[in-house]
Structure 1
Amino acid sequence: MIKMKIVQPLDYLKQIVQIDTTNPPGNELPLAETLKNLLDSVGIPNTLLIHGENRANLIAELVGNKNTDKVLGLSGHMDVVPIGDKVWKYPPFSAHEADGKLYGRGTSDMKGGLVALLYAMIQIKQENISFSGKIKFLMTFGEEIGATGAKELVRLGHMDDVSALVIAEPTNNEIYTAEKGVLWLEVKTYGEIAHGSQPESGVNAIEHMYYLLRGIQEEFKMDVQEDELLGKPTLNISLIDGGVNTNVVPDTCRLQIDIRTIPSQSHQDIISELHKLFKTIQCKVPNLLYDMKIINELPSLKTPSSDSFVQFFQKEAEDFFKSERRLRGIPVYTDGAVLKKTDSTIPVVIFGPGDLSKAHETNEHIEIGAFHRSISFFKQIIKNYLK
């Protein structure tokens, strides 16, 4: 079999960093088509799933020469966060190489991990390495806002045959087996508009939001036992706005809350407790009207340390990197929370090149050496799990 010469991994990473997939709006389709072209060129079967305007998931599958029911899922998202307002050292979509690093939006989160998984799969194919079962690579759109692409893959049944899942989010090549859930809530208060010179004629929605906000800060407690990997749950007041002008009594005010949860918590219980608190405040504040809705919700995720795939992955990492790799928890959400499904026992490991602390930052970058090492490691994982 003739081994087709393809572009080197680092050069390919540079190419896809230069494709702007900022979310919003996403525009992942051009990147998905670029990835598809490479997969087609090396003979790896794949399916492009277009979803709306310029959005798409891409699935690649490689079947081994021995038939088993083992399916190793690999996953990475194609979208990136906005570049922000600060000036970058290098243009954010230039994929500039300097001092052993590659700079650009998405290098760390997570086009570096995506390409590492892709080239591990390609090398398995090109080197004609024998394996059992199937490799299934899920490339998603919309992870940065609600994991929308992952939800679509689950809806269509593309996770139904997966035995274990590896997500190459930036972890500095450390092993993460747990992630916090997310519960984003929007609270609105409603008043009556009036001229600012006659506030007694209206009902001030901002003042009423103040009472709810003070109640959250002083009385709302999430008293749960700290998780050994994820720590404590958190609550952040992330946005507040209201009013139309200085001389007008505001008739609406809006508040958004970012709650990060741990596995022992119920999101419904949290919502119920907030409603209970707000209704108590309503009894004390005349004419206070509010409503509350969920704007984003994903469950927390935790694969037990006793899981056989987790133990396999940990041993492989320690053998490959020649150092201890303890299990960790990540405070953010990934596609894993959706792809796993709440009724599933699929083990999920989050592991990839790149530094999470640099992921959404100005001057985002990835260590080139870590990127190359992760390709070799992912290749080892595939070979040894599906041997």
Structure 2
Amino acid sequence: MPLDLTASSIDLTRAICDIDSVIDNEGPLADLIEQSVVGLDHLEVQRFGDTIVARTNLGRAQRVVIAGHIDTVPLNGNLTSRFETLDGVDYLWGRGTVDMKAGVAVQLKLAAELSEPIVDVTWIWYDHEEVSEAKNGLNRLSQSNPELLKGDFAILGEPTRSEIEGGCNGNLRAEIRTRGLRAHSARAWVGDNAIHKAAPILDLLAAYEPRTVEVDGLEYREGLNAVGITGGVAGNVIPDECMVHINYRFAPSRSGDEAIAHMHELFGELGEIEIVDLAVGARPGLDAPIAQGFVAAVGGVPMPKYGWTDVARFSRLGVPAVNYGPGDPLKAHADDERVALQQITDCENGLRAWLTATD
């Protein structure tokens, strides 16, 4: 049976959370979403793998893209969902409640109910967000049908406690290698210890003071950290190689090339640098009049998004984008993942007020 899109957004959240859609198993939930929206007269529905796109075509002057991913990280005893109250706050507990089925539920309910929004809306529910970029449904769609991501503004339902978080930081991972010479540890003086040569890299990281950068009125806090280190051959061998794995979170004012240049500026004389992952950030995009209208309707003070999100895909296409969805991001992927029920309601009310506003 299709999903009951007339149910409350809270009950709809619980219904889709109880459908296992762990990475690579999004098909059953995608099937239900497609079945639930395909019969709505005001929506044109298309399916691309396990990504569902539903569009209004009302001839409005502006178009907004509102998207959310339907996959979750693996389960750990947190399915099925349940209601619980902690410290006087009512929650829905379970995998996906925060990241990000509560946001998807709100979007589905509004997609069904709002047949005459003030802007044309492209609703996108996509698969494989929690894995590599190559599998990401939104990334695949941006390559095969980029016109479907075009709009004047975009909203991604990432968990933000139902507050607006603009843009996102960029993300770079680099491996810094030091080289040495193997020798028997009883005669270490004839070798060259590569692990010891990594000490200046770690000293630099420990002393590094990350920037706080203002971008379009929001302050993005950067971060530079060692997230892994490998080296060693055996308990009696001086190692000839050591690798320090570094993660750099950089403000959206910095390009990918500038982030790479910063790595070479810092570590170029300390080891061999290999960039193993790079995703540029997204500027807040809050200076656009349509974005300002969204902020006014939702209320509150916009904040920066420190982590990387798919808003960056919209930014690459020249579409200003923000993160806005229920759930505390600190509870995303946690074994005690849970969303405050009030945040689900607040998100629905905020989006509804904006999409139905009249001058």
State the TM bucket, normalised to the shorter chain.
Answer: 0.7 to 0.9
Per the TM alignment, residue 42 of structure 1 is displaced from its structure 2 partner at its CA by 4.3
* Other structure's SS at 1:340 match: helix
Does residue 48 of structure 1 match 2:47?
Answer: yes
Q: Is the 8 A contact 2:69 2:125 kept in 1?
A: yes
The match for 2:288 is 307
The match for 1:74 is 66
Partner Cα separation in structure 1 for residue 147 and residue 128 of structure 2 = 17
Does residue 269 of structure 1 match 2:258?
Answer: yes
Per the TM alignment, residue 98 of structure 1 is displaced from its structure 2 partner at its CA by 1.8
Partner Cα separation in structure 1 for residue 292 and residue 25 of structure 2 = 38
Map Cα deviations across residues 65-112 of structure 1 (whole Å, 9 max, x no partner). Answer: xx235222101122334557xxxxxx3121111222110121012110
- Structure 1 vs Structure 2: percent identity of aligned residues? 24
Map Cα deviations across residues 212-256 of structure 1 (whole Å, 9 max, x no partner). Answer: 3334444x6666755552343221211112224323333333322
* Other structure's SS at 2:92 match: strand
Does residue 205 of structure 1 match 2:191?
Answer: no
Q: Is the 8 A contact 1:186 1:295 kept in 2?
A: no
Structure 1 stretch 362-371 or stretch 268-277: which is displaced more? 268-277
The match for 1:285 is none
Amino acid at match of 1:142: H
The match for 1:61 is 55
Q: Is the 8 A contact 1:45 1:62 kept in 2?
A: yes
Partner Cα separation in structure 2 for residue 192 and residue 123 of structure 1 = 68
Partner Cα separation in structure 1 for residue 350 and residue 298 of structure 2 = 8
Are residues 207 and 27 of structure 1, via their aligned partners in 2, closer, same or farther at CA, if it must alter by over 3 Å? farther
Amino acid at match of 1:312: G
The match for 1:316 is 297
* Other structure's SS at 1:238 match: strand
Matched length? 347
Q: Is the 8 A contact 2:5 2:108 kept in 1?
A: no
Structure 1 stretch 309-318 or stretch 198-207: which is displaced more? 198-207
Partner Cα separation in structure 2 for residue 226 and residue 6 of structure 1 = 41
Structure 1 unaligned segments of length 5 or more: list them.
51-55, 85-90, 282-288, 319-324
Per the TM alignment, residue 49 of structure 1 is displaced from its structure 2 partner at its CA by 1.6
Amino acid at match of 1:31: L
The match for 2:17 is 17
Does residue 331 of structure 1 match 2:319?
Answer: no
Amino acid at match of 1:14: R
Per the TM alignment, residue 209 of structure 1 is displaced from its structure 2 partner at its CA by 2.4
2:339 to 366, 374, 380: 366
Q: Is the 8 A contact 1:240 1:254 kept in 2?
A: yes
Amino acid at match of 1:299: G
Per the TM alignment, residue 122 of structure 1 is displaced from its structure 2 partner at its CA by 0.8
Q: Is the 8 A contact 1:170 1:354 kept in 2?
A: yes
The match for 2:98 is 108
Q: Is the 8 A contact 1:150 1:339 kept in 2?
A: no
1:293 to 269, 275, 289: 275
Partner Cα separation in structure 2 for residue 7 and residue 280 of structure 1 = 62
Are residues 264 and 161 of structure 1, via their aligned partners in 2, closer, same or farther at CA, if it must alter by over 3 Å? closer
* Other structure's SS at 2:221 match: coil
Amino acid at match of 2:202: L
The match for 2:155 is 166
Q: Is the 8 A contact 2:193 2:239 kept in 1?
A: yes
The match for 2:139 is 151
* Other structure's SS at 2:137 match: helix
Partner Cα separation in structure 2 for residue 164 and residue 177 of structure 1 = 12
RMSD (Å), alpha carbons: 2.9
